[in-house]
Each structure stands twice: as C-alpha cells, then as structure tokens.
C-alpha cells in the first residue's frame, strides 16, 4: 500500500509535535528562500510541507499556534537590517493557471460589482517579473526609505542598498504627492545574471540558482558597496501609502509613474475585454524568451481605481488583480547519476545529476527527485532519458522517463539504508515519505541545526550562542558535540580574538554557559532534539522517569519489542507509537548515548520535582481515564490528576492504581475489573479532586 503523507489518528500531543516539527521545517525553508536566497528544496517539496501542515491543522484546529505559518506572506524580516512597518500592507496576488481561471476571475468581478454582462471591463496587463518586491517611500519627492516585503506587514530597511540602484530615482520629477510609496520589483537581467555567476565561479564563490536569487542576495548585502557592484534594476507597478492627488486608472498611473522617473515593465497592454486579455497572455508567452529578464506569467489589473477600491482584498490578495502563470518549461536530458543529499533536518533527498541542458534560458544540471516513493512511482534510473521542467522552481523536477530509450541492463534505484554523510542508520517511519538519518549530532549535515536547538530558549537557553556563532564554532571544530559547549572556557583567548566577539561578549557567553551547568531534567530532554519530542513531551517524560539515569536505563531496556519498559513508555498518556519509535530509535544509536554520557559528566541534570507548593495526594499513583466524562474535559481531568502528583497512563495494567470510568467506557473498564484495579465513577473522581 502506498504510504500517505496525510496524518491520521494522532494524539493531540503527537499532532502538536508534528505541527511544531513542520512549522520548524517551513520556517527553516522560508529563511533559506526569503532571507538567505539559497533554497534547499523545490517549490513543490515546500508546498508539500505546507499541505501536510494544513492537513494536520484541519484535524486539530485547536492546536493552531499564534504564528501559524499558513498566515504568513514571505518571511519575517532578516536580522541585520532595521525593521520597517509598512503603512499599507504589501500583499501578494492570487494565481490563474488556465483561461478558465481568468474567465472566473472576470466573472467574480462582474458579480461583486453587480455589473451588467455588457459593461466594459478594462484591464491593464503587464509581465510578471520574477524578482524581489520592494517599497520605496518618497516624502516631498525625496526617497526616504526603501523596504523589502518581509512578512507583508513588516519588512527590512534596505535604503542604503537601494540608493545604489540606478533605476531608482533619488528625487521625483514634479509635480508629486506629498507622500508617495512606489512598489515594484528589483530584478536582474538574465545576461547580467549569467555574467555575475561566471565571475563568482572564477572567484570560487557559491553560484546563485537563478536571477531572482541573485537579485535578492544582492539586495540583502549588509555592505551596500557590494550591492553597488551588482547589476540590479527596478520596475514600478503599484502604490502603497499616498497623500496627494492621483490619476483614476491603472493606465493613468503608469503614465504618472513614468513621469516621476521610474521604468515600467513592458510589453504592457490595456485590454478592453477578456478575449483581449487572453490574447495578450499568449503573445507574451511566445515572446518570453526574447525578453531580457525572466518572467513567470503576466498580471491583469482592473483599470478603474474606484472599482479596485470597492473590490478590496480577500485574505492576502486583491480581488481586482490576478497573476496568470505560464506553464512550466520543459526539456529532455540524460540522468548521469543519482546522488543522495542530507538536509539539515536529517532528511535524505535523492537528486539526479543531469547532462547539462538549457530550460527556459537557464542551464540545468541537477533535478530533485524528492523521495524514494517519487523515484519508484516514475521509475527513474541512472542512464535514463528524462523530461524535466522548471515550474518557476529553483530546482527543476523530472516529469517522466522515456522508456523507449532505457538501456537494457538498467536497474531500479535503491535508496541507501545508511546516511551517506555519517553512515548512521537512515530510517523511514510509518506514514512518512522521507527517510531520515538517525546520526543527529554526529552527522555533519545536522550538527549545526541540532546544536542550535540545544542552546535555544526552551532548551539550554544560552544567550550569545545563536545560529551564526554555533556555525562558526562548529566549522572551526571548537564545538562538535553539546558537551564541548561546556569546555568553551578553555578557548577563551581564541574566542576573544574573533571578529565581532570581544572580551565583554565572551565573558557574558561563558557566564551564560556556566549558569546552565544545572539543568532541569525536562529541559535536558527537550534539548536533545529527539524527533517529535517537543517541550510538552519532554515534560511528560521527565515527570514519568524522574531522573536521567532511570530514563536511560528504561530506554535501553525498551529496545526489546515486547519488554515491560517499552509498554511502560507506550502507556504514558499522550505518547503514541510513532513517538515511542522515535524515542527508542534515539537510544538505539550508540553515538547518542555517547552524547548523553559526555553531557552527564559536565552537567548536573536536576531530577524532576513536582511544582513547589503543590498539594500532591496522588504522588506516585498511576491513573487511567476511560469513557466520556461529563463534568470536565479529558484534558482538564488529566491536568488535575497531574497537579495532584499522579501519572496519567493510556492503558490499564497491573501497575494502575485506579481507573476513572465515564460513560460508554469500553475494554479498559473491563480490563481493570479483570485485574482487580480500583474503579472510580466520575462523581467519585470529582470528590477526590475537591477533597
């Protein structure tokens, strides 16, 4: 049976761990894409992550976090630049992929505005440039602030860099509104991009994946003299905040924009009806290779501003505009090899090394194969001739294999069972499409991410040891394993010499590290970064196993499938089978035990203690709830039991002290009876709570 990536039958805590894990991955890829301009995965793989996130959230809407990644446009501002709050949010556009989608878009506008079928609807049509959106604020005609979109509400202040872009006027040509925000796209011509990459190859610098990444990477330079050397251009196409008079149509605005001194994106056309709009689309699609820049579609904007205003916005996009995307560009080439890359979360991604081929003006020599199911589904093999496509994706995808050209001796591809980087076991869990390296901290691909998690706020909370410093110290071999952090004081002199560190900050960092030599057991567990073990699960484990020694022994005993130790772990309420596998999997790797033991030598892991001042009449007792409780939710009953010091288990065993039986209780009540375990009714339970 094909494994589905859609989760089902998760417990709340598993779902919340999955959401946290997916949100972390999404945030990681958002950061790579929007702030580092160096995406690791294709747009399709990213969309899959978001789809999975949405699927879990649809089943568990009550677990939606405040910073739900689904509500974000782009990424939050990168550090290193000051923040700019946009006076008018910078939104996105919804997409049309077919002529029918366009018909529907036009129909929606007619219905919304209650227009007669024969009322003339004019659309201003422009190419959709693949670059980086930017907002330019002019006060009394002078450029005062330039900002990226960021998350739509707050962007990064990139004024110094934008001042180096020739297409951006420092002063507007009069007359102009008192306040004027111009929005447009920073981009790079294809030819300039290729020349820049050629130079970077000569200088042994990493190449940009495409013109969009090159433009974004150039704008996000902290040193604007570097930006000044990059061939950046700017097209203006929309407005933000405006105080002053404006034309009353989009086409009028374009004339005005040109008058103020901006470049416009051409070829544009004012179309009088839907047929003209669609004809424009096909014309541009034909010409797209002749244009000096990459476009991924065209944009249609309703021409009348009064109508735009009435239509307004829905969620993240205006109702009066749409982006009509071009179909993916395809080419045929040969798969020279299939290699397996390891991402920072340990995910193994197969990648096809291709005979270089030009697709839509860009030379492609690699394609992502996503995962082993995808390879099996398309039956992609080394030496196959394949059709590949770039669908606005940074990394192209393989669409299909040409079986007629397959060599006779070819063999199906087999995914490695061990990590190609650190040779640890790579496992694929039930319901997952991704195979992951279990190497954790000893895997170079994962080490930095794990160390960063280790020092993060909810874990060891070591201020002054963020991602950049961890990366630097890891690369210089000063910290390879978490225990090395507690040895950093040996390298005090070295640290003080480093650029951007200094005596004071090193002193502060070493003090922060010393302050963490005593660490509560639950934080310690969380810091290990075991998959699916978030903050809440770490607390459950700490409460159950009390101290590190006891937990370590129990987890080793739990390696055996049918052991009492495994059942005991499985019995902890809210810990489901997939979590049990992850926790035990962690202890099955000798290097993880080494990490634990090394840490135990340099730290005092403080055993779990019940919150002070508590009334703990049920201390040490194991309770099971079954059936429907009428006077309190299961979550409240559980919290109350835990507050009274009890362990809440998911199933009944001889170790259970009592079972609280609600309405329609099933086999657990029967099992309790058979084992002679004490049974309480809901009322008796409430009396116990109120005693």
**How far, in Å, are 608, 609, 616, 644 from residue 612 at the CA level?**
11, 8, 10, 12
Residue among 128 and 491 whose Cβ is closer to ligand IVH: 128
Q: Which is nearer to ligand IVH, 185 or 449 (CB)?
A: 185
The nearer residue to ligand IVH, 68 or 92, going by C-beta atoms, is 92
Nearest approach, Cβ of residue 339 and ligand IVH (Å): 33
Cα(108)–Cα(317) distance, integer angstroms: 14
Give the residue at shortest CB distance from ligand IVH: 133
What is the DSSP track for 292-343?
A: SS-EEEEEEEESBHHHHHHH-EETTEETTEEEEEPPPEEEEEEEEEEEEEE-
Question: Measured in Å, how far apart are the chain's first and last C-alpha atoms?
Answer: 53
Least Å from the CB of residue 96 to ligand IVH = 12
The 3-state secondary structure of 129-181 reads ECCEEEEEEEECCEEEEEEECCCCCEEEECHHHHCCCCCCCCECCCCCCCEEE
Q: How far is the CB of 388 from ligand IVH (least distance, A)?
A: 24
State which H helix or E strand residue 357 sits in: strand 347-359
Q: In angstroms, what is the minimal distance from the CB of 364 to ligand IVH?
A: 23
- Measured from the CB atom, the residue of 126 and 384 that comes closer to ligand IVH is 126
Token digits of residue 505: 């900050």
Question: Would you say 95 or 643 has its CB closer to ligand IVH?
Answer: 95
Whether 477 is catalytic: no
Quote the tokens at residue 415: 């995914």
Q: How far is the CB of 286 from ligand IVH (least distance, A)?
A: 18
What is d(CA 79, CA 34) in angstroms, rounded to the nearest whole number?
A: 12
**Cβ distance to ligand IVH smaller for residue 239 or 433:** 239
- Pick between residue 85 and residue 363 the one whose CB is nearest to ligand IVH: 85
Closest CA to 149 of 86, 95, 240: 86
Catalytic residue among 52, 128, 233, 325: 128
Question: Please, which residues have CB within 8 angstroms of residue 606's CB and are 6 or more apart in sequence?
Answer: 518, 519, 520, 521
Least Cβ distance, residue 24 to ligand IVH (angstroms)? 25
Measured distance CA(199)–CA(218) in Å, rounded: 14
200/197 Cα distance (integer angstroms): 5
Binding residues for ligand IVH, per CB under 6 A? Answer: 91-93, 126, 128-129, 133, 185, 237-238, 265, 299, 318, 321, 323
Minimum gap (Å) between residue 596 Cβ and ligand IVH: 47
The H or E element that residue 105 is part of is helix 99-113
Catalytic residues: 128
């Amino acid at each position: 049976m094909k494994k589905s990536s859609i989760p089902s039958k998760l417990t709340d805590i598993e779902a919340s761990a999955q959401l946290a894990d997916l949100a972390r991955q999404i945030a990681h890829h958002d950061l790579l894409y929007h702030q580092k301009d160096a995406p690791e995965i294709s747009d399709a793989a990213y969309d899959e992550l978001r789809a999975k996130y949405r699927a879990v959230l649809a089943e568990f809407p009550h677990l939606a976090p405040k910073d739900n990644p689904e509500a974000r446009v782009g990424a939050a501002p990168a550090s290193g630049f000051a923040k700019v709050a946009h006076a008018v949010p910078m939104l996105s556009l919804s997409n049309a992929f077919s002529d029918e989608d366009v018909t529907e878009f036009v129909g929606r506008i007619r219905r919304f505005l209650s227009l007669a079928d024969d009322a003339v609807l004019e659309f201003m049509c422009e190419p959709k440039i693949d670059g980086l959106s930017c907002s330019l604020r002019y006060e009394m005609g002078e450029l005062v602030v330039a900002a990226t979109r960021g998350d739509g509400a707050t962007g990064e202040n990139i004024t110094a860099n934008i001042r180096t872009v020739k297409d951006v006027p420092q002063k507007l040509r009069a007359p102009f509104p008192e306040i004027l925000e111009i929005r447009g796209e920073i981009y790079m011509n294809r030819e300039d991009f290729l020349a820049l990459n050629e130079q970077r190859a000569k200088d042994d610098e990493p190449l940009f994946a495409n013109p969009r990444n090159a433009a974004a990477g150039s704008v996000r330079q902290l040193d604007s003299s570097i930006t000044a050397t990059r061939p950046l251009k700017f097209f203006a196409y929309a407005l933000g905040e405006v105080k002053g008079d404006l034309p009353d149509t989009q086409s009028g605005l374009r004339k005005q924009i040109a008058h103020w001194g901006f470049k416009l994106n051409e070829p544009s056309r004012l179309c009088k009806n839907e047929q003209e709009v669609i004809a424009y689309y096909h014309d541009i699609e034909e010409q797209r290779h002749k244009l000096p820049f990459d476009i991924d579609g065209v944009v249609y904007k309703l021409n009348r501003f009064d109508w735009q205003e009435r239509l307004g916005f829905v969620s993240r996009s205006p109702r009066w505009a749409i982006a009509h995307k071009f179909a993916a560009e395809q080419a045929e080439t040969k798969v020279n090899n299939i290699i397996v890359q390891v991402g920072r979360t340990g995910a193994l991604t197969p990648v096809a090394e291709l005979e270089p081929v030009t697709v839509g003006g860009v030379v492609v020599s690699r394609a992502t194969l996503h995962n082993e199911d995808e390879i099996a589904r398309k039956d992609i093999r080394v030496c196959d001739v394949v059709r590949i496509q770039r669908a606005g994706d940074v990394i192209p995808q393989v669409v299909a294999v040409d079986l007629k050209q397959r060599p006779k001796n070819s063999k199906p591809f087999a995914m490695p069972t061990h990590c190609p980087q650190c040779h640890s076991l790579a496992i694929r869990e039930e319901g997952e499409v991704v195979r992951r390296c279990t190497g954790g901290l000893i895997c170079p691909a994962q080490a930095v991410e794990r160390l960063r998690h280790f020092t993060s706020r909810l874990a060891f909370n070591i201020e002054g040891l963020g991602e950049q410093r961890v990366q630097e110290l890891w690369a210089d071999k000063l910290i390879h394993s978490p225990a090395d952090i507690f040895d950093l004081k040996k390298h005090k002199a070295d640290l003080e010499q480093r650029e951007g560190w200094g005596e004071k900050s090193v002193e502060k960092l070493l003090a922060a590290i010393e302050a963490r030599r005593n660490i509560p057991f639950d934080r310690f567990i969380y810091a290990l970064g075991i998959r699916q073990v978030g903050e809440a699960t770490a607390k459950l484990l700490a409460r159950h196993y009390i101290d590190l020694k006891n937990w370590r022994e129990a987890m080793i005993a739990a390696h055996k499938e049918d052991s009492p130790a495994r059942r005991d772990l499985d019995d902890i309420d809210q810990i489901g089978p997939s979590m049990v596998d992850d926790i035990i999997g962690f202890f099955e790797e000798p290097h993880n035990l080494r990490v634990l033991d090394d840490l135990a030598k340099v730290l005092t892991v403080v055993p779990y203690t019940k919150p002070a001042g508590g009334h703990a009449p049920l201390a040490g007792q194991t309770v099971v709830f079954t059936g429907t409780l009428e006077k309190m939710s299961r979550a409240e009953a559980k919290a109350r039991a835990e507050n009274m010091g009890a362990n809440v288990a998911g199933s009944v065993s001889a170790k259970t002290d009592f079972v609280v039986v609600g309405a329609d209780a099933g086999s657990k009540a029967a099992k309790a009876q058979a084992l002679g375990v004490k049974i309480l009714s809901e009322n008796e339970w409430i009396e116990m709570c109120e005693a």
